Amino acid sequence: MVPLPLVQSSNQLIPSTLPPYLIAVFVGATSGIGEATLKQFAKHTVQPRAYFLGQSQDAGDRIAAECKALNPNGEYVFVKADVSLIRVVDEVCEGIKAKEKAINILFLSAGLPITDRRETSEHLHLLSALIFYSRLRFTTNFLPLLRPAPSLRRVITVAGGTH
Ligand SMILES: NC(=O)c1ccc[n+]([C@@H]2O[C@H](COP(=O)([O-])OP(=O)(O)OC[C@H]3O[C@@H](n4cnc5c(N)ncnc54)[C@H](OP(=O)(O)O)[C@@H]3O)[C@@H](O)[C@H]2O)c1
């Protein structure tokens, strides 16, 4: 595992080494790893724009305000969506694609406790839908915007702790 001080000193370099106006999409950022990473993105980047997804409107409103306090020059757009449904993933992607020409970072961390055995209305195992099918759909849908992104182009998927 990378030591935390190394991560922190690397983050300090972001404003001087990465260009301004980075655009990111965080899927599953109303709590946990997604929320923490979104806030580091907001804190260290110059005039960023972030779309962040989850199901809790209250958490979305709170986090948008907290990001604005961290970096008032950024734009933070909460999208309320159940991304376990592939149909919904496609709708969300179309909405973002209508507004953006490029995406620098796609950060995927939506998930559930491993003991959850429910099935979605599309007849997928809910946990597999969230950590596999939905994430691949976001990635393939956004490839046309990730490929032309200037400088940074990353898809990050968080599944196992420290991996
Ligand atoms: N934290 C750890 O130690 C750890 C260890 C091993 C693996 N993981 C995995 O790493 C990932 C992130 O963990 P975490 O600790 O950040 O989890 P978390 O705090 O529970 O966050 C999960 C996020 O996923 C969102 N989400 C869940 N179902 C959703 C749905 N149907 N539609 C849209 N958003 C949905 C939640 O938003 P809403 O609540 O608003 O729906 C929340 O923002 C998960 O896949 C988890 O299984 C974490």
pLDDT tens by residue, 18-61: 999 999 999 999 999 999 999 999 999 999 999 999 999 999 99
Domains annotated on the chain, with CATH: 18-157 (3.40.50.720)
Closest listed residue to residue 79, CA positions, set 138, 126, 120: 138
pLDDT band at 135 (very low <50, low <70, confident <90, very high): very high
Q: Whose CA is nearest to atom 42 of ligand 1?
A: 28
Is pLDDT of 116 > 80? no
Q: Whose CA is nearest to atom 45 of ligand 1?
A: 111
Residue % of the chain over a pLDDT of 90: 91
Of 40, 53, 55, best ligand 1 pocket probe by most atoms within 8 Å of the beta carbon: 55
pLDDT band at 160 (very low <50, low <70, confident <90, very high): confident
Cβ neighbors of 49 (< 8 A, separation 6 or more) are 21, 22, 23, 24, 74, 75, 76, 77
Of 89, 108, 109, 131, best ligand 1 pocket probe by most atoms within 8 Å of the beta carbon: 109
Segment 129-154 shows an average pLDDT of 97
Is pLDDT of 147 > 70? yes
Is pLDDT of 68 > 90? yes
Atom in ligand 1 nearest the alpha carbon of residue 56: 40
Of 87, 108, 124, 158, best ligand 1 pocket probe by most atoms within 8 Å of the beta carbon: 158
Distance 17 CA to ligand 1 centre (A): 30
Predicted pLDDT at 162: 62
Is pLDDT of 112 > 90? no
Is pLDDT of 161 > 70? no
Atom in ligand 1 nearest the alpha carbon of residue 113: 47
